[in-house]
Homo-oligomer: A and B are copies of this chain.
Amino acid sequence: MRRTFESVPGSVVAPKGFLASGVYCDIKRLGTGKGSDKGQKRDLALIVSEVPATVAGLFTTNQVCAAPVKVCIPRAAKGRAQAIVANSGNANACTGPRGLRDALEMAAVAAARIHLPAEHVLVASTGRIGVPMPMANVRDGIRRAAGLLGNAPEHGDEVAEAIMTSDTRPKQIAIEMKLAGRPVRIGGVCKGAGMIQPGMSVTGRRPAAMPVAGLHATMLAFLTTDAAIEAKLLQRMLTHAVARSFNRITVDGDMSTNDTVLVLANGLAGHQQLRWRPAAKPSREIGLFQAGLDHVCLELARMIVRDGEGVTRFVTLRLSGARTCAEADAAVRAVANSALVKASWFGGDPNWGRIIDALGYSPARIVEERVDIGYSAPGAPTVVWSLKKGRPTTTSFKQLCAAVAPREFDLHIRLNLGPASAILYAADLTEEYVDFNKGDVSDPTKLGG
C-alpha cells in the first residue's frame, strides 16, 4: 500500500526519547589532531535511547563478516538494546581476535559512560578492511560523544555525517504518523557509496532462497522510533522493509563485510504495544507502521544509489514475466551489474543489445522472441518501447536517446514467460567510479575501502 507520510526534522533524534552525537577522533590516523571537531569530518557517532528499547537487525550475508557484525548478531537477537556506537574510517574487518576485542570494548566504553549494560550497546563500523582499530582515538571519541549527546536536529546531522565514507552528502529522514490516536515517529540515517549490493539476513547466514548474485559496498542504516513494538514483530517488519529496499539496490555489485541495518523502538509514544499474532491478520496499526517503515527504508536505500561513487544516473529496473522469483532476481541483477550496460547508461546510449545479451547469459530462462524492453520517466505509466518480442520497434534512436538522457529513468523488461517480477535500484558505471576506486598508493589517505 502506497501511503504518504509527513516528514519532520531530526532524523534519528526525531522520535521521543532519543539522543545522539557525532565527533571527530581521527580514526584514519591522519594525525590531523583529534579532540577538535572543527573543519574535520566527524567519524564516530553515538545513538542512545533514554529507556531500554526493543531492537531488530539485519546483517551482511558475506561469509567474511566484520567484528562489529559478529558482536551485533547475538545482541540484536536478544531483542533488547538501548544504544548504538558507530564509526567510519575503519571497517574492523579481517582483524581477527583483536578486532573482536576492540568491537566489544567500543560497546563497553560507551556503556560505562552512559550507564548501561554493555550487551545493550550495538556496534557498527565502515571503512578500509584489515586495519586494526586505533583504540586510543576511538575510546577518546566515544567518551567525548557521550558528553555531547542531545536531541536537537543538529545531533541527527552529526550522526549522518559521522558514518559517511565516500558519501558526498549525509542521508537522513524522519516521518510522523498517528497510531491509535498517538503521534509516532520513525527516524533514520544511512551511508553507502561503494561496495554496494547488500543481501542482508537476520543471522548473517544466507537463506537458500536468497540470491548470491552479490552484495558489496558497506551500507549502514540506523533507524529509531518511539513506537511500542514487540521485538519479534519488529524483526519481521524490518525484514519485510529491507527485502523491498536495501536488499534491492546495487551500485557496483559488490557485497560488503559490514552491511548492517538496526532499528530501536523505545515505546515512548505511549500507545498500546504492537504484538505479533501468527493467526490473526495484521491490525490497522501494524499495517500503517509497516508502511511507514517501508517508506523510510526505501527512501534511504534510494539515497544510497543516487549518491553511489561516481554515479550520474539512477535507474529503476522493473522486470516482469519471469518463471520464478529467483529467476526474476537473477535476470534483473545480471542487467544491473553488467559493466557494458552500466557504461551505456553513463553514455546515454539506449543500447538494448547489451541488455538482452545480459538477460541471455543470466541463469534465468529467457526466450529472445518474447523479450520486451522499454523506458519511462520514474514511476510514469507511459513506456517508450525499444524492443518488442525480441525485435526493435519503430521508435527512433533519437526518441530512445531522449528516454535515457534524464538523470533518473525506469527500465522496463518483460520476459513474458511467467508470473514472477522483480525490481532493482541501480546506477551507471562512470570513469569517476574507476578513478576513485583505483585509489592512490602513494597517498594512504586516498586508498579506497
Contacts and interface: CB of A to CB of B under 8 A. Distances in A.
Interface stretch (A3-11, A241-249, A356-364): A356-364
A359 B64 contact: yes
A391 interface: yes
A346 B435 CA distance: 9
Interface stretch (A176-184, A262-270, A437-445): A437-445
Interface stretch (A75-83, A116-124, A212-220): A212-220
Contacts of A360: 62-65, 255, 257
Interface in A317-375: 334, 338-340, 343-344, 346-349, 351-354, 356-363, 365-368
Contacts of A349: 438-439, 441, 447-448
11 contacts: A63-B366, A65-B360, A93-B357, A96-B391, A129-B356, A130-B353, A199-B361, A216-B357, A339-B433, A344-B437, A346-B438
B447 A357 contact: no
Contacts of A212: 361-363
B353 A94 contact: yes
Interface string A252-289: 11111100000000000000000000000000000000
A166 to B, nearest CB: 12
Given A195-B357, A214-B361, 15 more contacts: A63-B368, A64-B357, A64-B360, A129-B354, A129-B357, A212-B361, A216-B338, A252-B340, A254-B338, A344-B438, A344-B448, A346-B438, A351-B439, A353-B449, A431-B435
Nearest to A91: B353
B255 A348 contact: no
B63 A361 contact: yes
A165 to B, nearest CB: 13
A333 to B, nearest CB: 11
Contacts of A392: 94, 130
A390 interface: yes
Contacts of A346: 434, 438
A401 B441 contact: yes
A366 B62 CA distance: 10
A254 B339 CA distance: 7
A128 interface: yes
A160 interface: no
A430 interface: yes
A429 interface: yes
A92 to B, nearest CB: 12
Nearest to A390: B94
Nearest to A253: B339
A22 interface: no
A194 interface: yes
Interface in A167-205: 194-195, 199
Contacts of A368: 63-64, 94
Contacts of A253: 338-339
Can you list the 4 inter-chain pairs with the closest CB atoms, starting with the nearest? Answer: A129-B353, A347-B438, A64-B360, A343-B437
Contacts of A353: 91, 93-94, 128-130, 449
A351 B448 contact: yes
Nearest to A215: B361
Contacts of A63: 359-361, 365-368
A349 B362 CA distance: 31
